[in-house]
Chains A and B, each alone.
Chain A
Amino acid sequence: MIENKPLLRRAAAMVLAGVARAITGVRPIWQGCAPSKRQRIYFANHASHGDFILLSTCLLPEERERTRAVAGADYWRKTRIRHVLARDLLNTVLVERNWVEREQDPMVIMLDALDNGHSLIIFPEGTRNMTDEPLLRFRSGLYNLAFARPDVELVPCWIENMSRVLPKGAFLPVPLLCRVIFGLPVELTPAEDRHAFLDRARRALLELNPEHQRSLNHG
């Protein structure tokens, strides 16, 4: 059973990528960087459960295989089905978000995954954005990762339309065209403190949003 799991995961990843393409026709736009085999942390806006499937669909097959999404343990361990899905099929890195009750430090878990050679997909807003704001404030995990592993590239990825395809609470996706826009990697500079870095990373992501660019042009 255990030996079969990598195979199961690979099959699940292929099926999910196929379904994501059939429904959303997703296209990667490599605006600020090119696809690469370098170890990366992809950080993206988050409004839908489909987000990380869409993002990993856009990666090269080898890169997709070693890229794992970081997800909230409180949500994905709530029921048995969710837990099996997250652990065995989606191969997510589960971290506990509630720092009062948590048993394991999320940083340790994420750094472990990086040290095992995985690339990560993280959603620095910390939760799915249900507001009318395009992007919430960033939690500090992104800074901590950038500080601890300076040679891993931090790539901002704007996921377009997925919140309309599969909004929170919806079970069936509406077919709409989606794009994932990959921006210029963000680097932590020595003089920068946590607040300034997070702010800059957030702006780098927000600037990839085509609607943001449109409003700048009209304003």
Chain B
Amino acid sequence: MAETIWLFLGLLGILTAASAVATALSWKSTRKGDVLPSTLANLNSRIKAWWIMIATISIAFLFGKGGVILLFAFVSFAALREYVTLTHTRRGDHWILLGMFLIIIPVQYYLLWIEWYGMFSIFVPVYCFLAMPALTAISGDTERFLERVSEQQWGIMLSVYCLSHVPALLTLPIPGFEGKGLLLIAFLIATVQGSDVLQYVFGKLFGRNKVAPKISPSKTWEGLIGGVISASLLGAALYWLTPFTPAQAGLMAALACIMGFFGGLVASAIKRDRGVKDWGHMIEGHGGMLDRADSLVFAAPIFFHIVRYFWT
């Protein structure tokens, strides 16, 4: 468990350094009596939120598999709630919507707990996929039927199915890596979230050319390339958390970060379509749960299946 302690100390160091830098910058900019610029105020609240998020994840890790499954069931709940709030729902959808929260989330994470992989991997894309439109049809309300059904499917796929692949890493029987699944989760979260932070930093420092100006003004080529390269290097440096060699760890991190970028892009497109800036307000400075988890949503299933194919 020496790895866990090193990881924890490393995170503590990074957060402390980030807080110190932000405090110094805030002190410097308000010393002349000016008000704090909004970017800096946002940076401060982002860093504060990171302390809370990392503390929460660390506590979940202390409780092992059960803790991580419960944590991600909660993340799914919060993400789905933000998502469904932005969709078109009608009175006839009440039971389906309740079922998404009260049945699908608990069942999907229970299947992880009992490690029934066969059912875990098809429960949402096969059973729920067919049951949800059938139940909506029985309710008899056909107004905007296709739109309602599709939005429900999307919500479950993104917020529950895809996200549940993060704790699913615990269930992979990797030879020579038994009992270390938590470290692999830490690796995935650290590189994907690290890439988000690094893309933000590189974008703020060097951002000139926008990747998709119609979708997101904050995503630039400079941020993307700088963020992915530096996060891949971070991944390679964290190879000791994984069953990978340093080169493999770098490649896996690069893949996860690129998927994470697409996750953020798709989430921005949905938000733009619905005319909102953030998914919610749960995490101060960041927006909602989905604003923070959108990159994991896209990265986790691909990361999971590549590890499952090549390493088990």
Q: Tell me the A residues contacting B by CB distance below 8 Å.
A: 25, 27, 161, 164, 167, 170, 172, 174-177, 214
Contact = CB atoms under 8 A, between A and B. Distances in A.
* Across the A-B interface, the 10 shortest Cβ-Cβ residue pairs: A174-B97, A177-B85, A176-B85, A175-B81, A167-B91, A170-B94, A174-B98, A172-B98, A164-B89, A175-B101
A121 to B, nearest CB: 24
B281 interface: yes
B77 A175 contact: yes
Given A172-B98, A174-B98, A176-B84, 7 more contacts: A25-B280, A27-B281, A167-B94, A170-B94, A174-B94, A176-B81, A177-B82
Contacts of B77: 175
Interface in B65-100: 77, 81-82, 84-85, 89, 91, 94, 97-98
B7 to A, nearest CB: 31
B144 to A, nearest CB: 13
Contacts, number: 28
B81 A25 contact: yes
A172 B101 CA distance: 11
Contacts of B81: 25, 175-177
Nearest to A163: B91
Contacts of A177: 81-82, 85, 280
A174 B101 contact: yes
Contacts of B9: none
B131 interface: no
B137 interface: no
A113 B94 CA distance: 37
Nearest to A23: B81
Contacts of A25: 81, 280-282
13 contacts: A25-B81, A25-B282, A27-B281, A161-B85, A164-B89, A170-B94, A174-B94, A174-B97, A174-B101, A175-B101, A176-B81, A177-B280, A214-B275
Choose among A164, A172, A174, A177 the residue with the greatest number of B CB atoms under 10 Å from its CB: A174
A175 B91 CA distance: 14
Contacts of B97: 174
Contacts of A164: 89
A87 B277 CA distance: 42
Nearest to A168: B91
A28 to B, nearest CB: 12
B141 to A, nearest CB: 13
Contacts of A175: 77, 81, 101
Nearest to A218: B275
A214 B275 CA distance: 9
Contacts of A27: 281
Nearest to A214: B275
A161 B81 CA distance: 12
A164 B98 CA distance: 11
A175 B280 CA distance: 13
A83 B70 CA distance: 39
Contacts of B281: 25, 27
A123 to B, nearest CB: 19
Interface string B253-289: 0000000000000000000000100001110000000
A164 B87 CA distance: 11
Contacts of B102: 172
Contacts of A172: 98, 102
Contacts of B282: 25
